[in-house]
Structure 1
Amino acid sequence: MAVRRVVPTIRSEAAQESREFYGLLGFEEVMNHGWIMTLASPTSPAAQISVMAEDRTAPLVPDMSVEVDDVDAAYAALRASGAEIVHPLQDEEWGVRRFFVRDPGGRVVNVLAHR
């Protein structure tokens, strides 16, 4: 299994203001589903942040997303380790397969792969 990217999630009700603020640092909007917006550097597209007030299909907002090449293998490894799965593995209508797991420090990690 390989990590493709890691994206921190900023919990915020101020999406427009966040877009403008991070725009001053060179970020541009690359995705906006209305409930989650992702900003990226145009010169280094893997440098990203997401802004989210609430998650559309999950009970809580994750602290970060980790995109992997094999989400099923990641799910199996984390379950086998005894890690706390806080949102089950599922396919989402926007083209990702994902689950949430709590890390040892209490942070919620959205582990995903694009289909």
Structure 2
Amino acid sequence: MAVRRVVPNIPSGSVQESRAFYGLLGFEEVMNHGWIMTLASPSSPAAQISVMTSDRTAPVDPDMSVEVDDVDAAYAIMRESGAEILHPIQDEDWGVRRFFVRDPSGRVVNVLAHRARPGQ
């Protein structure tokens, strides 16, 4: 299993203002679902931050997102380790498969993989 990227999730009631603020640092919007917006560096696209009001399909809001190449393997490893699963693995409408787990410091980690599009 390999980590593809790590993205901090910033809770905010001011998503649009946050877009303008981080835009001053060179970030550009690459995804916006209304409740979560991801900004990335055009020169280094894996350098990203997400700003969110609250997670629409999970019982808690994640502190960070970790994209892996095999989310099912990551889920199995976390379950076998006895880690606290806060949100079971599931496919989301926006094209990711994910689960939430609590880390030893109490942070909520959204572990995800993008699903392949038909024809890929």
- The runs of at least 4 aligned residues of structure 1 exceeding 3 Å deviation read none
The answer on 1:88 being equivalent to 2:88 is yes
Equivalent positions of 1:19-38 (< 5 A) are 19-38=19-38
Please state whether the residue corresponding to 1:47 is helix, strand or coil. strand
Q: What amino acid sits opposite 1:80 in the alignment? A: E
TM-score, with normalisation over the residues of structure 1? 0.99
Residues in 2 aligned to 1:57 and 1:16: alpha-carbon distance in whole angstroms: 21
How far is the alpha carbon of 1:60 from its aligned partner?
Answer: 1.2
Q: What amino acid sits opposite 2:113 in the alignment? A: A
The gaps in structure 1 that reach 5 residues or longer are none
For these two proteins, the number of residue pairs brought into alignment is: 115
How far is the alpha carbon of 1:41 from its aligned partner?
Answer: 0.4
TM-score, with normalisation over the residues of structure 2? 0.95
Q: What amino acid sits opposite 2:107 in the alignment? A: R
What is the RMSD of the two structures over their aligned residues, measured on CA atoms?
0.4
How far is the alpha carbon of 1:59 from its aligned partner?
Answer: 1.1
- Counterpart of 2:67 in structure 1 is 67
Equivalent positions of 1:1-115 (< 5 A) are 1-115=1-115
Deviation per CA, 1:69-113, whole angstroms, max 9, x where unpaired? Answer: 000000000000000000010000110000000000000000000
